[in-house]
Structure 1
Amino acid sequence: MAGSRLNAAPVAIVSKQYCSPEQVVLTVRQRPQTVTGGGFVVTEDPTQKVVFRVEGCGVLGSQGELMVRDGDGAALLLVRRKEGVVQALSINRKWKGYSFDYEGVKKVVFKLKEPNSCWARNSAIRISTEPRRSGGAGDWDFEVQGRFPDKCCTVVDHLGRIVAQVILNYGVEKGMRSMDVYYVVVKPGVDQAFVFGVIAVLDNIYGESTAC
């Protein structure tokens, strides 16, 4: 993989439980909306063990609301899009990701800005964390580069270091490619639950498996 690497010091945003000291390759399989309500399942290579399950409005019954669960179905991260007239007129549509503590209380762990107007159309999708990770470098900590619909995009930190990559054909023959199956490479020490919270939002923004 090209690009700079993070060191293996954990960057825990949702939970340090999901910060591996090694690079991890995870497989994403989108679920048909007509059968299961949509969303996607994330498995670990090569064991195919389910690591995360992501649900969208087809399961939750609410537009602009997404849920990241662990492999056993426990809620890890609730992601909501901010609604209202002000948001509809804003150049950026805002999303918030909430983690759950041991008592089930929600707290904001990240905020994502989605370009929402012709003036912001070419702007990057940027994410800030709570607490902030960038040491005051602007109003964002991570940025999405590339094209998620093409399954060719990268999440980088504010220094341009690669956090995670979404790719279509990791170790797969060309004839076996499918847009319903793709791969996410997460760098050492990066919170995988946070990465899939961001990917859940990208999936929804582009009208894929979590959208209705």
Structure 2
Amino acid sequence: MASKQSLIPIVSKAFCSLSEVVLVVRRRPHVVNGGGFVVTDCTQIPIFSVDGCGILGKKEELLLRDANGNPLLLIRRKGGIVEAVSITRKWKGYKTDFLGPQKLVFTLKEPITMCLLNKNSIRICIESKELSNYGDFEIIGDFCDKDCSIVNSRGDPIAQIGVKKEMEQVMKSKDLYYVSIKPGIDHAFVIGVIAVLDYIYDGSTRC
């Protein structure tokens, strides 16, 4: 069990739990407003939702909402000439309630070349100075097969994405999978990262 001192509130401490939590991700069909996905707890109570580009009307833009529909994270891919000559693309997650200034909370570096992408060279940088001592995070494994982890700078998993064995027969399409999040880790941050991975790998958030 995590102590209050070990909480890592990248988006908000309101989304940090003192115990391990298992959430369920259910992808929306592309035909429903352009896609996205819904996140529930194990009793099917909605916790988060992610709107894809079909709903927002913009490519390479995602919006994470809480259970009440309030915006938590606006996630965009940064483009431009500099990126065109780089070996990575950068996704930036901004904490916002649309009433005040946006605050950059994390940057996810997506390799442009697929050979690097297949080697799981996906790093996540936390932009908060208060949390800089935790270092960067990295994606390990295969998100396409829903078998991957988000690990910290020491290589310890902070979240595991997978399909439960007893559900494999009904989840071969990978439209339903679980996310196990370690104590103290910000759930909204983890789901924001998953939203980017879903888009990168041509998931339900992408038009």
Answer 1 or 2: which has greater helix percent.
2
Residue in 2 aligned with 1:60? 56
- 2:13 pairs with one of 7, 10, 16: 16
The reply to whether residue 42 of structure 1 matches residue 77 of structure 2 is: no
Residue in 1 aligned with 2:74? 78
Output the CA distance in 1 between the equivalents of 2:98 and 2:34. 28
Q: Which amino acid aligns with 1:41?
A: V
Per the alignment, in what secondary structure is the counterpart of residue 36 of structure 1?
Answer: coil
**Deviation of 1:130 (Å):** 1.5
The reply to whether residue 144 of structure 1 matches residue 139 of structure 2 is: yes
Contact 2:120 2:140 in 1 (8 A): no
Instruction: Tell me: CA distance 1:115–1:183, structure 2 relative to 1, closer, same or farther (3 Å).
Output: same
- 2:194 pairs with one of 183, 189, 199: 199
- 1:97 pairs with one of 93, 97, 103: 93
Contact 2:75 2:92 in 1 (8 A): yes
Unaligned runs of 5+ in 2: none
Deviation by residue 1:109-163 (Cα, 9 ceiling, x = unmatched): 0001001126744351000112254538xxx610000000000000000011111
Contact 2:120 2:142 in 1 (8 A): no
Q: Which range moves more in the overlay, 144-153 or 28-37?
A: 28-37
The RMSD of aligned alpha carbons is: 1.9
Instruction: Tell me: CA distance 1:190–1:15, structure 2 relative to 1, closer, same or farther (3 Å).
Output: same
Contact 1:30 1:181 in 2 (8 A): yes
Output the CA distance in 2 between the equivalents of 1:142 and 1:13. 12
Instruction: Tell me: CA distance 1:31–1:176, structure 2 relative to 1, closer, same or farther (3 Å).
Output: same
Contact 1:92 1:120 in 2 (8 A): no
Output the CA distance in 2 between the equivalents of 1:168 and 1:127. 23
Q: Which range moves more in the overlay, 181-190 or 118-127?
A: 118-127
Per the alignment, in what secondary structure is the counterpart of residue 34 of structure 1?
Answer: coil
Unaligned runs of 5+ in 1: 1-5
Output the CA distance in 2 between the equivalents of 1:164 and 1:203. 16
Output the CA distance in 2 between the equivalents of 1:192 and 1:123. 22
Output the CA distance in 1 between the equivalents of 2:112 and 2:181. 28
Contact 1:169 1:177 in 2 (8 A): no
Instruction: Tell me: CA distance 1:33–1:22, structure 2 relative to 1, closer, same or farther (3 Å).
Output: same
The size of the alignment, in residue pairs, is: 202
The reply to whether residue 211 of structure 1 matches residue 186 of structure 2 is: no
Contact 1:134 1:158 in 2 (8 A): no
**Deviation of 1:173 (Å):** 3.9
How high is the TM-score relative to the length of structure 2? 0.91
